[in-house]
Amino acid sequence: MQKYLVTGGAGFIGSNFVHYLLSKRKDCQVVNLDKLTYAGNLENLADLKMEARYQFVKGDIADEACVDQIFKSGIDVVVNFAAETHVDRSIENPTDFIKTDVYGTYVLLEAARRYGVKKFIQISTDEVYGSIEKGSFRETDPLMPRNPYSASKAGADRLAYSYWATYQLPVVITRASNNFGPYQYPEKFISLSVTNLLEGKTIPIYGDGRNVRDWLYVGDHCAAVDFLVDQGKDGEVYNVAGGNEKENIEIAKEMVCYLKGSQDSIQFVKDRLGHDRRYSLNADKLKVLGWKPKSSFLTALHETLDWYQKNEVWWKKIKSGKFKQYYQKQYELR
């Protein structure tokens, strides 16, 4: 029986991963450590209340005592998803990004070193490379993060690597592209846009709408992380790409079309500060190891839009709470 510590398991990707793990690996136990920030939501895991192999701990990855207590119970594998994740929020106030993404990762690495875990998966991001006009980033390319979120993730990414290089802690680092799918907090481009459209509101497109992101279905990301727990080589970095590079405006038009809205619901607004133009990953390393994504982009996008249509209660509760005040302020600023 392998015991996993999944951090940030009440968030978007983390909750999808907890579900993936418990259904795929019958011989595992999962401890989910989550601070329940604005982005953490136990409703994402409501179906696991009676699952004996699953345990939830409310706590901060930057809290040494709390983290030590969990490792004391015996942890084999750590998957560190916990982070502040929204670029716009990091531009407004980077403090929590440094505390969680950098210092919190350090606290986990130290505990993992003290207790000797078998694998530590650090969930990094393609944003650490910065923007690229042509071509695609490889794992060996230099990091050039351009906003406080990606800079804090780059710090954590390299700190994790240093624990391999210095202490031989068995660390594997993943750098995935933009995820989409069920349970994504409705502040990110696709989740915000679909829920806005369902509310009869507009999609706010930053700048000229021609920024490019590579979209990865969250189920594929979870499968890649699970694959790397077994197959990832210690001390290595793996790009996880969706292989679906699209301009934001293209995605917006597709969402409007699928939901039978009016193209007038696409509204151009003031650009994000320092907005990265294009993200692009070369994922050959992971392919050579034996993994590639399964989902077709359009099918996964349509299924995601269907999910938000069917799960109004989930996102309406979020959008009528603290999100409302935050978003109204953002909208006025633009």
Rank residues 36 and 91 by Cβ distance to ligand NAD and give the closer one. Answer: 36
Burial class (CB in 10 A: 0-12, 13-18, 19+), 185: buried
Q: Which residues are catalytic?
A: 126-127, 149
Among residues 9, 148, 155, 204, the one that binds ligand DAU under rule CB under 6 A? 204
Interface residue with ligand NAD among 29, 32, 37, 211 (CB under 6 A) is 37
b/e per residue, 196-207, with b = 16+ CB within 10 A?
bbbeeebbbbbe
By a kind-dependent CB cut-off of 5 to 8 A, residue 319 interacts, out of ligand DAU, ligand NAD, none, with none
Least CB distance to ligand NAD at residue 226 (A): 14
Q: Which stretch binds ligand DAU (CB under 6 A): 3-11, 165-173, 188-196, 236-244?
A: 188-196
Strand partners, 198: none
Three-class secondary structure of residue 8 per DSSP: coil
Torsion of CA 45, 19, 151, 333, to 10 degrees: -40
String marking each residue 39-78 x if it binds ligand NAD according to CB under 6 A: xx-------------------xxx----------------
φ, ψ dihedrals at 65, nearest 5°: -65, -45
Give whichever of 117 and 160 is closer to ligand DAU, judged by the CB atom.
160
Show contacts with ligand DAU in window 208-267 (CB under 6 A): 211, 213, 248
Q: Which is nearer to ligand DAU, 53 or 86 (CB)?
A: 86
Options 3-11, 71-79, 93-101, 123-131: segment touching ligand DAU (CB under 6 A): 123-131
Query: What gap in Å lies between CA 217 and CA 247, rounded to an integer?
Result: 17
Binding segment (CB under 6 A) for ligand DAU, from list 26-34, 119-127, 220-228, 283-291: 119-127
b/e for 77-90, b at 16 or more Cβ within 10 A?
A: bbbbbbbbbbbbbb
Neighbours of 273 (CB within 10 A): 11
100 interface partner picked from ligand NAD, ligand DAU, none, CB below 5 to 8 A per type: ligand NAD
Distance CA 232, CA 174 (A): 9
| Residue 220 identity | D
In angstroms, what is the minimal distance from the CB of 35 to ligand NAD?
4
> How far is Cα 27 from Cα 50, in angstroms, rounded to an integer?
17
The site for ligand NAD (CB under 6 A) is made up of 7-8, 10-14, 33-37, 39-40, 60-62, 81-85, 100, 104, 123, 125, 153, 176, 178-179, 185
